[in-house]
Every structure is written in structure tokens, then in C-alpha cells.
Amino acid sequence: MYSRIILERTNYELKIPFISARLLRNFNFEEMQQVYRTYCLYKRFPSVMPLFVEEYTYPQSHLHCYFESKSLVGFTLMFQYNKKNVAAAQFAWTYSNPWKRLGIKSLEYLCAYYKSEGFAYLYLGGDEPYKRQLEGYELCGPMS
């Protein structure tokens, strides 16, 4: 089951407590890979899809980076399909301070960001219990 957020049904702030969020076009790929590696090891994923530099540089890619002080602690790679629909493609963070709940807080931030940009939907991929707590959450229906 695939899920999405109806952005008009959300009311999140355009900030993350204790974290600085920025949309970047210029980035250090090795630094991004290290965050991804740390994330995958922390989560103990038995298998992962490699990330390729081209994913970050496609014209429709949006790279939201999260900083603590001036250190990169996480990122979300988004794909813009058109002027109303955007999808979360990959998230990773270092879990340096798990109590900050960057996974959930970054989703709330992204809802606020894309709502402010006039988007209608933020697609999240598969249904997961942690996603259900987000405002505007819904399962995508079958094709009709």
C-alpha cells in the first residue's frame, strides 16, 4: 500500500527544532554517502540500494540537508514530478542525537515547505506505522 500526505490538511512549521535545514544544489557526495552508510548500519538493513551521484543532480531532484552546528547530520532526497506532486525518495541521518526525532521532524518540515510552495501531495512510498501519525496522511487508492 502506497501513502501520501494531502498538504492542505497539514499545519506544520517551516523549521526543525535544534536543526538547520537547507535546500542544496551544491553538495559533497562523499559526505552524503557517509551519512547514508551510517544510517544503514545503525538501522541494520540487511540489503540496501546504492545511491548514485546522478540521483542528486537530476533537474527534478531536491536535496534537503540537515545540519547540527555546521555538520551535516542528515538529508532527504525528493523528486518533483510536476508542480503539484513531489515524492520522498531517500532519507538518511546519523542518529547522533536520536531524541531529536529527525526522521519525523524532517517529514513535518517537508510538508510545510512543499505546502508553502503550492504543492498538493507529498508521496511517502509504502505504508508504515510511523507515517500514519502525520497530518494529512492517506493511503493511495487502487487504479480505477
pTM exceeding 0.85:
yes
Whichever domain contains 39, its CATH number is 3.40.630.30
Number of domains in the chain: 1
17 by Cβ neighbours in 10 Å (0-12 / 13-18 / 19+) ranks as exposed
In a domain, 144, yes or no: no
In a domain, 125, yes or no: yes
Per-residue pLDDT tens, the chain, 144 aa: give them.
899 999 999 999 999 999 999 999 888 999 999 999 999 999 999 999 999 999 999 999 999 999 998 999 999 999 999 999 999 999 999 998 888 999 999 999 999 999 999 999 999 999 999 999 999 999 998 876
In a domain, 80, yes or no: yes
Q: Element (H or E) spanning 20, and its range?
A: strand 20-24
In a domain, 128, yes or no: yes
Around Cβ 138, how many Cβ atoms within 10 Å? 14
**Segments forming the whole domain that contains residue 16:** 2-139
In a domain, 10, yes or no: yes
Kindly state the cell numbers that stand for 105: 521532524
